[in-house]
Amino acid sequence: MNVFQGEISSLPPDKSISHRAALIGALAEGTTEITNFSGGYDNQSTLSVLRDAGISVRQEEVPVADGRIVRNVVIESRGLWSFSKPSGPLMCNNSGSTMRMLAGIMAAQPFRSELIGDASLMKRPMKRVADPLRQMGAAISLSAEGTAPVVIDGTKEIRPIEYLLPVPSAQVKSLVAFAAMHADGRSKIIEPIRSRDHTELMLGLETIDRPDGVREIIVEGRRPIAAKPFNVPADPSAACFMIALGLLGDRSEIVIRNVCLNPTRVAYIDILQEAGAGLVIENTRSEGGEPVGDIVVRSCSGLKPLRISDHTIVAGVIDEIPMLSVLSAFASGEFELHNAAELRTKESDRIDALVVNLQRLGFDCEQYPDGFVVKGRSGVVPEKAHIECFDDHRIAMSFAIAAEAAGASLELSDRDVAGVSFPNFFSLIESLRQ
């Protein structure tokens, strides 16, 4: 088993915050400066579609003292209706965040637009996008299967809405909020189960937490958004992979600097600590309205099996489940997941992808419509095995970490897909190897 030690100050900037900073900048009046913007493929797709929709976007790479390159983005806009009719379809590539949240903005623009993506994104469900926007007055058409292309006949007369989120989804919540900002009146988004709240924080939206645990988000339409600077902290979902590397490594200790510790993003840390993981949070502080801190992770030989079934917890760790499941399988031989049918609608069917690949690595697994269980090892981990990444960055990275833990030579079908969210993933692992 390999040893990994060192300090990480080059974790990718947060993907979710980067998307939202760019979209809010496109809706603001004036100049928005974004420091430490993500270089991942998905976030670059957001910048690309903004340019194609008439928004002025500049990006520059700036070397900093510790040798890193920081991407800074400058967006010039004139307010809510600064977009212009695209000359062709807006290509979102693999980014579901781009397609879904941008749809909320384009629904309020007085022209037709079309959102498309790569082969993977064109299979993902978009009815949850269309339903609220149709209620708000936009005409939305999808494929017969309810997938992209998303063709939007937008309207400047978008209507206010009171919308109960049918599933916990920060993307759907955000697209409704972005559309509601153009409406002539007050909108209310009702969220029975909390999802990541970056949009509310970054826009300064009023929120009401009811005694029954439901959150209401209030959006006052047609209020100008003043441009302001954003600084993007390190991505906690990316940190999960480095945490797993440290926990599974032999005599390893890794310090991960400047990680976003928003409570809606780091529930997985609580799960790991309760299971006995050697994790410590240090140097906590607030930056740009988001809690930030450093994570210290040390090797752990006694991690308890992870069992995740509470639907509120599942919603808070949905992006980290691939890595958590692989981590638990290799650390304890077991894992159990329920109430996570949403995983089947991600970049891949992540339930099936995880089970297929874990079985190839000698684990006894059984899957259900809403989850799966790893019952133990049905055989030894082969020295060489082929891992199918299914065009999914989180599947690729999770099993790359598994390979390091097992000391096995796993052949990934597509290493490069890690660049969707974590461009320096493999080089960072090598920099920590002792």
Q: Give me the average pLDDT of each 10-residue run along the chain (434 residues).
A: 89 95 98 95 97 98 81 98 98 97 98 97 96 98 98 98 95 98 98 95 96 96 96 96 94 95 96 95 89 95 93 94 97 96 95 96 95 88 85 96 81 93 93 91
* CATH code for the part of the protein at 234-432: 3.65.10.10
DSSP strand E in 299-399: where? 306-308, 335-337, 363-368, 371-377, 384-387
Task: Determine the pLDDT at residue 377.
Answer: 86
If we measure between CA atoms, which residue out of 383, 399, 271 comes closest to residue 337? 271
Q: Can you tell me the distance from the alpha carbon of 255 to that of 8, in angstroms, rounded to the nearest whole number?
A: 6
Picking from 320, 322, 327, 277, the residue whose alpha carbon sits closest to that of residue 297 is: 277
At residue 311, what are phi and psi to the nearest 5 degrees?
-65, -30
Query: How much is the pLDDT for 381?
Result: 66
> What is the pLDDT, as a whole number, of residue 289?
78
The one catalytic residue in 319, 349, 352, 392 is 319
Overall pTM surpassing 0.85 (yes/no): yes
Q: What is the pLDDT of residue 379?
A: 67
As given in the structure block, the two tokens for residue 134 are 């149709």
Q: Is 319 a catalytic residue?
A: yes
Confidence at residue 403, expressed as pLDDT on a 0 to 100 scale: 87
CATH class, range 15-225: alpha beta
Asked if the domains 15-225 and 234-432 are classified in one and the same CATH topology, the answer is yes
Q: Where are the domains of the chain?
A: 15-225, 234-432
pLDDT value of position 68: 77
In this structure, the strands spanning 29-35 and 5-8 are: unpaired
CB 404 within 8 A of CB 429: yes
Bridge-based pairing of strands 253-260 and 5-8 is: parallel
Res 288: pLDDT: 73
